Chains A and B, each alone.
Chain A
Amino acid sequence: MHLQVSSICKTFGHGAKAKLVLDRVSFDLHAGEFLALVGSSGSGKSTVMRLIAGLDRPSSGSITIDGHPVRGPGSDRGMVFQKYSLYPWLTAAQNVAFGMQLQGLPKTEIRERTAYFLEVVGLADAARRLPRELSGGMQQRIAIARALAAEPRVLLLDEPFGALDIQIRESMQEFLHQLWRQTGLTALLITHDLEEALLLANQVHIMAPTPGRIVRSVDVHLDRSNMAHLRVSPGFLQLREELAGCLRGLEPALSR
Chain B
Amino acid sequence: MDTSLLRRWLKHPWTLGILGMSVVLLFWWLISGSGLVDKLFLPSPQAVLQAGQVQWSSGLLVKDALASIQRVFIGFALSAGLALPVGIAMGTSPVICRLLEPLMGLIRYMPAPAFIPLLIIYFGLEELPKVLLIFIGTFFFNTLMIMDAVKFVPHELVETARTLGGRGLPILTRVVAPYIAPQVLDTYRINMASAWNLVIVAELVAATEGLGKRISLAQRFLRTDEIFLGLIVIGLIGLLIDLGFRFLMRRSCAWAN
- Whether a CB of chain A sits under 8 angstroms from the CB of B46 is no
Q: Contact string, A155-188, partner B, CB cutoff 8 A, digits 1/0? A: 0100000000000000000000000000000000
Docked Cα-Cα span, A146 to B156, in Å, equals 14
Assess whether A102 is in contact with B170, with CB atoms less than 8 Å apart: yes
Assess whether A88 is in contact with B165, with CB atoms less than 8 Å apart: no
Assess whether A83 is in contact with B154, with CB atoms less than 8 Å apart: yes
Assess whether B255 is in contact with A89, with CB atoms less than 8 Å apart: yes
CB contact between A55 and one of B162, B170, B179 (< 8 Å): that residue: B162
Assess whether B156 is in contact with A81, with CB atoms less than 8 Å apart: yes
Assess whether B163 is in contact with A74, with CB atoms less than 8 Å apart: yes
Residues on B with C-beta less than 8 A from A87 are 157, 175, 178-179
Residues on A with C-beta less than 8 A from B167 are 73
Chain A's closest residue to B153 (CB) is: A84
Q: Contact string, A16-30, partner B, CB cutoff 8 A, digits 1/0? A: 000000000000000
Assess whether B165 is in contact with A75, with CB atoms less than 8 Å apart: yes
Query: What is the size category of the interface that chain B forms with chain A?
Result: 20 to 34
Chain A's closest residue to B182 (CB) is: A89
Assess whether A89 is in contact with B162, with CB atoms less than 8 Å apart: no
Chain A 97-132 interface residues, beta-carbon cutoff 8 Å to B: 98-99, 102-103, 130-132
- Whether a CB of chain B sits under 8 angstroms from the CB of A150 is yes
Assess whether B157 is in contact with A73, with CB atoms less than 8 Å apart: no
- Whether a CB of chain B sits under 8 angstroms from the CB of A79 is yes
- Whether a CB of chain B sits under 8 angstroms from the CB of A93 is no
How many residue pairs, one in A and one in B, have C-beta atoms under 8 Å apart? 71
Count of residues in A whose CB is under 8 Å from the partner chain: 29
Residues on B with C-beta less than 8 A from A81 are 156, 159-160
Residues on B with C-beta less than 8 A from A103 are 164-165
Chain B's closest residue to A91 (CB) is: B255
Chain B's closest residue to A152 (CB) is: B163
Majority SS at the chain B contact face: helix
Assess whether B256 is in contact with A88, with CB atoms less than 8 Å apart: yes
Assess whether B163 is in contact with A77, with CB atoms less than 8 Å apart: yes
- Whether a CB of chain B sits under 8 angstroms from the CB of A40 is no
Assess whether A150 is in contact with B164, with CB atoms less than 8 Å apart: yes
**Also in contact, A89 and B253, with CB within 8 A (given A81-B156, A84-B157, A102-B170):** yes
Q: Shortest distance in angstroms between B178's beta carbon and chain A's nearest beta carbon?
A: 5
**Also in contact, A53 and B156, with CB within 8 A (given A87-B178, A89-B178):** no
CB contact between A89 and one of B156, B159, B179 (< 8 Å): that residue: B179
Chain A's closest residue to B163 (CB) is: A79
Residues on B with C-beta less than 8 A from A147 are 163-164
Assess whether A73 is in contact with B253, with CB atoms less than 8 Å apart: no
Docked Cα-Cα span, A164 to B237, in Å, equals 48
- Whether a CB of chain B sits under 8 angstroms from the CB of A212 is no
- Whether a CB of chain B sits under 8 angstroms from the CB of A209 is no
Docked Cα-Cα span, A99 to B164, in Å, equals 5
- Whether a CB of chain B sits under 8 angstroms from the CB of A62 is no
Chain A's closest residue to B171 (CB) is: A102
Residues on B with C-beta less than 8 A from A132 are 255
Assess whether A78 is in contact with B164, with CB atoms less than 8 Å apart: yes
Residues on A with C-beta less than 8 A from B162 are 54-55, 72-73
Chain A's closest residue to B255 (CB) is: A89
Residues on B with C-beta less than 8 A from A83 are 154, 156
**Also in contact, A88 and B163, with CB within 8 A (given A83-B154, A83-B156):** no
Assess whether B179 is in contact with A78, with CB atoms less than 8 Å apart: no
Residues on B with C-beta less than 8 A from A7 are none
- Whether a CB of chain A sits under 8 angstroms from the CB of B33 is no
Using a CB–CB cutoff of 8 Å, the interface residues on chain B facing chain A are: 154, 156-157, 159-167, 170, 174-175, 178-179, 181, 253-256
The 15 sampled A-B contact pairs (Cβ below 8 Å) are A54-B162, A54-B163, A55-B159, A55-B162, A73-B162, A74-B165, A81-B159, A81-B160, A84-B154, A85-B160, A89-B256, A99-B166, A130-B254, A132-B255, A150-B165
Not counting A84-B157, A102-B170, A102-B174, a sample of 13 additional A-B residue pairs whose C-beta atoms are within 8 angstroms of each other reads A53-B159, A54-B163, A73-B159, A73-B167, A79-B160, A81-B156, A83-B156, A84-B156, A87-B179, A89-B181, A99-B165, A103-B164, A156-B163
List the 4 closest pairs (A to B, CB-CB), nearest first.
A99-B164, A75-B165, A73-B162, A84-B154
